[in-house]
Amino acid sequence: MKYPVYEVKIEKLEKKYVNDCLNTSWIGQGAYVKNLEIEFSKYVGCKYGISTTSGTTALHLACRTLGIRNGDEVLISSSTNMASAFAVIYCGAIPIPVDINSDTWQMDVSKIESKISKKTKAIMPVHLFGQSVDMDPIIFLAKKYNLKIIEDCAEAIGVLYKKRKIGSIGHISAFSFFANKTITCGEGGMVVTNDKRLALKAYELKNLCYGKKNRFLHSDIGFNYRLPNISAAIALGQLRRIDSIIEKKKRIYQRYFNNLKNIKNIKIPIIGSHTTRFIMWVFNISLINERNDSNFLIKKLKSYSIESRPAFAPINKQPWYKKKYFNFFKKNNCHNANEVMLKGLYLPSGSTLNNSQIDFICEKVINILK
Ligand SMILES: *Cc1c(COP(=O)(O)O)cnc(C)c1O
């Protein structure tokens, strides 16, 4: 028996839509792309959706659309997938890491204001692991200092902050449909916004900025970030049955949580009270024992064919960050994110896991840590 860290199930509906693309030969841009944009943006509470080829390109498109450019600074959760920071760097701007809260592992919003400088252009909260960042203080600071908010929602499809849907709170937001995200088409992404001007700009930029009168006199330097119809068909099938996917993830979280909540060498991140709908992305734990870092457990689990992954290495730990942005690195060492990198890991979390598999994994974790 193998326990992959993530596994995806493609059902009849996705297959039907893909076959429709193949049978009609609409494999480039077609109706599934439009329908995915309409239904997904509605699902996350936004008026406009602009599909892209990945979460990374969605983040880049979002930053470019807002006009992030050379020399600007963008404040980001230190602990994240580096795509968040890369998107900023692609625009010539500088990512400034903000430490995370050691209980929830989300951006510590009390540490943002002291990092705002004359060059700060935007804040990028990353809603990690299916929780939401505490957005009200960010909205307050954005107003006070005239900053933009880019939400990285790659791990938080369907999540609620108080009564609001994640992705609809900032000026512009990015989602991912990578293979291990809540809904997937292998590779894909989406920019969403409620601002019509931003939506039009994003749409132009992602589609090579073709000219309006003469198509080949381009209005700006654009990108080709177009999601193919076949991929959109898979994502649309997934979206239309997202409730059943979320139900499975809920069961998996509960099972892990109940099995591991009283184990004394393990800490499970706490879900912040402002996250009114939590949707587990992956199941995280961190090791309390001083002696052991997460690699020790990862290696031992591997001997039982259980795959796991270490927690994110934060922005301030990246060798290229130290080298390229040394002055920023010196000022921005993030203690809690560093600690999570050392002690944190996640266990197999795909929606195909059944309860006895979870029990087996937990039993091994408990025995190894005894
Ligand atoms: C997955 C992820 C991304 C990148 O998405 P891709 O589709 O893999 O490019 C960006 N940010 C976060 C927080 C992610 O989890």
Res 252: pLDDT = 98
DSSP string, 352-369: T--HHHHHHHHHHHHHHH
Cross-strand partners of 77? 98
Q: Is residue 27 part of a domain?
A: yes
Q: What is the CATH number of the domain that holds 286?
A: 3.90.1150.10
Is residue 167 in some structural domain? yes
Is the pLDDT confidence value at 11 over 80? yes
Q: Compute the distance from residue 26 Cα to the ligand 1 centre, in Å.
A: 28
287 shares a domain with 205: no
Question: Which of 79, 81, 150 is the pocket-test mutation for ligand 1 (most atoms within 8 Å of CB)?
Answer: 81
Q: Does 178 score more than 80 pLDDT?
A: yes
- Domain boundary residue, one of 206, 239, 272: 239
Among protein residues, the one whose CA lies closest to atom 2 of ligand 1: 154
Do 266 and 352 belong together in one domain? yes
> Has residue 113 got a pLDDT over 80?
yes
- Considering the domain architecture, whether residues 330 and 349 belong to the same structural domain is answered as yes
The span from the first CA to the last CA of the chain, in angstroms, equals: 24
Cα angle: 308, vertex 311, 316; to 5 degrees: 155
Both 46 and 75 in one domain: the answer is yes
Q: Are residues 71 and 83 in the same domain?
A: yes
% of the chain surpassing 90 pLDDT: 95
Task: Examine residue 2 and state whether it is found in any structural domain, yes or no.
Answer: no
Distance of alpha carbon 106 from alpha carbon 114, whole angstroms: 18
Output the CA 42–ligand 1 centroid distance in Å.
21
How remote is the CA of residue 176 from the centroid of ligand 1, in Å? 6
Mean pLDDT (whole number) for 113-118: 97
| The dihedral formed by the CA atoms of 369, 314, 166 and 256, expressed in degrees to the nearest 10 | -10
- The pLDDT of residue 54 is 98
Q: Is there a domain that residue 89 lies in?
A: yes
Residues 171 and 188 in one domain: yes
Q: Is 4 inside any structural domain? A: no
Q: Which of 220, 239, 258 lies at the terminal end of a domain, its last residue?
A: 239
Six-digit token pair at 233?
Answer: 């068909």
CA of 158 to the centre of ligand 1 (A): 16
Six-digit token pair at 62? 């979002």
Indicate which CATH number applies to the domain containing 24. 3.40.640.10
Task: Report the atom number in ligand 1 closest to the C-alpha of 126.
Answer: 13
Instruction: Tell me the average pLDDT across 102-128.
Output: 98
Q: DSSP labels for 271-303?
A: PPTTEEE---SSEEEEE--TT--HHHHHHHHHT
Residue 196 covered by a domain = yes
Name the token pair of 140: 């307050």
Which residue bears the tokens 């039993």?
363
Q: What is the pLDDT of residues 182-223, one digit of tens each?
A: 999 999 999 999 999 999 999 999 999 999 999 999 999 999
pLDDT for res 326: 87
What pLDDT score does 111 carry?
97
269 and 182 within one domain: no
Residues 161 and 266 in one domain: no
Atom of ligand 1 nearest to the CA of 189: 7
CA distance 362 to 257: 10
Q: For position 56, what pLDDT does the model report?
A: 98
Q: Identify the domain boundary among 181, 209, 239.
A: 239
Count, in order, helices (H) and strands (E) of the chain: 13, 14
Q: Ligand 1 center to residue 48 CA distance, Å? A: 20
Claim to verify: residue 98 and residue 174 sit in the same structural domain: yes
Residues composing the chain: 370
Ligand 1 atom with the shortest distance to the CA of 54: 7
Indicate whether 170 and 137 sit together in one domain: yes
Give the residue, out of 56, 88, 159, 284, with the most ligand 1 atoms within 8 A of its beta carbon, to mutate for a pocket test: 56
63 and 210 in a single domain? The answer is yes
Q: Which residues contact 159 (CB under 8 A, 6 or more apart)?
A: 127, 130, 131, 132, 153, 165, 166, 275, 277, 278, 279
Q: What SS3 state is found at 225?
A: coil
Supply angle C-alpha 166, 168, 169, rounded to 5. Answer: 85
| Closest approach atom of ligand 1 to CA 178 | 7
**Residue 354 structure tokens:** 């059944």
The neighbour count for residue 353, using CB atoms within 10 Å, is: 23
Residues 235 and 247 in one domain: no
Question: Rounded mean pLDDT of 138-152?
Answer: 98
Question: How remote is the CA of residue 216 from the centroid of ligand 1, in Å?
Answer: 32
- Tell me the mean pLDDT in the region 238-267: 96
Question: Rounded to the nearest whole angstrom, what is the distance from the C-alpha of residue 82 to the centroid of ligand 1?
Answer: 8
Q: How far is CA 351 from the centre of its chain?
A: 17
Model confidence, pTM: 0.97
Q: What is the pLDDT of residues 49-103, one digit of tens each?
A: 999 999 999 999 999 999 999 999 999 999 999 999 999 999 999 999 999 999 9
Contacts of 306 (CB under 8 A, 6+ apart): 3, 347, 348, 361, 364
Residue type, 261: K
In a domain, 97, yes or no: yes
Q: How many domains does the chain have?
A: 2
Pocket of ligand 1 (CB under 6 A): 54-56, 80-81, 83-84, 126, 152, 154-155, 176, 178, 189
* 15: its two tokens: 């297959």
pLDDT at 266: 94
Q: Containing domain of residue 336, as a range? A: 242-369
Query: Is residue 334 a part of any domain in this protein?
Result: yes
Dihedral of the CA atoms 23, 29, 35, 36 (nearest 10)? 100
